[in-house]
Amino acid sequence: MKDFVKKLAADYKPLLLTHFHHLHAHPELSFEEYETSAYIKKSLTELGIRVLEEFGGTSVVGLLDSGRPGPTIAFRADIDALPVQEETGLSYGSVTPGVMHACGHDSHTATLLSFAALLAGHPELGKGRVKFIFQCAEEKLPGGAKGLCENGVMDDVDAIYGLHCAAKKPLGEIVANIGPHSACIGVYEVTVHGKGGHGSSPHEAVNPVPVACLLAAAVNQLLAEKANPLEKAVFTVSYIRGGEYPNIIPADVTLGGNLRTFNNALTQTLFEQLKKTCEGICAAYGCTCDVTTIVGYPSTVNTEAETLLVRRAAEDMGYPWKTTEPKLGGEDFSYYLLEKPGSFFDIGMADPEHVEEAAPHHNCRFQLDERGLAIALEMELAVYLKAVEYRQ
């Protein structure tokens, strides 16, 4: 497989870099990827790949039907950029002030477009159907994946795969976990309502400040009481706002923070308990409260068979395979994995001689070693060939 895949992928390297340089130079923010979407549609149409129009928005879904029996395998790339002013000095740097592909979504999109071109150019490789999902707004809640799934993008899919460039991992290192890859993210805010008054007459007011402090302490205790001690999770109070002057008791105080866990059910449990706890403490001290909770992306949980398939593909291609501690960051690839089996994996794209100096994701100096894009293309092809074989 190794020589076969490398030879095929090498033929598409010029196209891969053309896509990458164009996309990097023309970044667009989440839910505003109009030109990017048009570029993807034009590229797919020129390849003879059908663009599915039923999903709308700035996401683009392409379908390549081989005409032969086989599974439907999906691959996903995210297409949005970040509100960051680029400072890389690259010849193909962003031409849009204050917007930059500082997380590598341009590399994901360029790779998937090139993979689509490769399969369209080699119909003998195809069995069943391939669905190319170019998803908007990974960086901004509620994310693009949620809407696509609600509109049925996964209904006919047998398995899905996605990759993410890793700017702080050595070139060619393939990283994935069976089970949790990233965390479920939730945010909350509690507004405590008391009765304002003069600082000299606290008995004539209902001071929400000490009540908010009690709530903050109680939130820190919830995780210890409701989560399995062996689970990794954080439940943070990040801010308390209320009051401005020493002689004025404010009427309202607001506090809030975030929750991160690999257990999607635990998120709901903790948020339900948060509401009960806040309402109970406030009532005990003569206050009321409004509790707002938002569940962001669920935990991304890779299935075993599909992740082992990615591992075999990496090993066949001669790339080192590693597992890692799951990240408490969020990723809306999770929505696809709630629907069907699949795997989300990282590909190291740092110059191996300068890994420590590499800028992290979301940094204004974020930059990838372009050799990593060819590796990503090889991996998508290798994973596809193994996925078709596995699903036959």
Q: What is the dihedral of CA 144, 145, 146, 152, to 10 degrees?
A: 120
| 189 shares its domain with 82 | no
Q: What pLDDT score does 242 carry?
A: 95
Residues 148 and 239 in one domain: no
Both 112 and 15 in a single domain?
A: yes
pLDDT value of position 392: 80
Total number of domains in the chain = 2
The amino acid sitting at 58 is T
pTM (two decimals):
0.91
Catalytic residue among 189, 279, 339, 370: 370
For the question of residue 12 being annotated catalytic, the response is: no
- Which token pair is 124? 């003998």
Out of 295, 312, 334, a domain closes at 295
Same domain, 313 and 252: no
Predicted pLDDT of residue 239: 97
Q: Looking at the structure, tell me whether residues 176 and 255 fall in a common domain.
A: no
What is the per-residue pLDDT for 34? 98
Q: How many CA atoms lie within 13 A of 198 on its CB side?
A: 2
347: domain CATH number is 3.40.630.10
The domain of 83 spans: 2-181+300-391
**Do 110 and 248 belong together in one domain?**
no
Q: Which of 295, 318, 342 is the last residue of a domain?
A: 295
Successive 10-residue mean pLDDT values, the chain, 392 residues = 96 98 98 98 98 94 97 98 98 98 98 98 96 97 95 98 97 96 95 97 97 96 90 93 96 97 93 97 98 94 98 98 89 97 98 92 97 98 96 84
78 and 135 share one domain: yes
Residues paired with residue 369 on neighbouring β-strands, in sequence order = none
Residue 213 and residue 158 in one domain: no
Please tell me the predicted confidence (pLDDT) of residue 213. 97
Q: What per-residue confidence (pLDDT) applies to 329? A: 87
Specify whether 173 is located in the same domain as 55.
yes
- Are residues 363 and 219 part of one domain? no
Based on the domain organization, do 351 and 241 belong to the same domain? no
Query: Of 261, 295, 329, which residue constitutes the final position of a domain?
Result: 295
39 is catalytic: no
Which candidate in 297, 319, 335, 384 is catalytic? 297
Three-state SS for 49-97 is CEEEHHHCCCCEEEEEECCCCCCEEEEEEECCCECCCCCCCCCCCCCCC
One domain, residues 278 and 332: no
Strands 174-175, 321-322: pairing kind: parallel
Residue ranges in the chain assigned as alpha helix (H) = 2-10, 13-25, 34-46, 105-121, 144-150, 208-226, 264-284, 304-317, 334-339, 371-391
- Residue 262 sits in a domain of what CATH number? 3.30.70.360
Return the H-helix or E-strand segment holding 302: strand 300-302
Q: Identify the pLDDT of residue 374.
A: 98
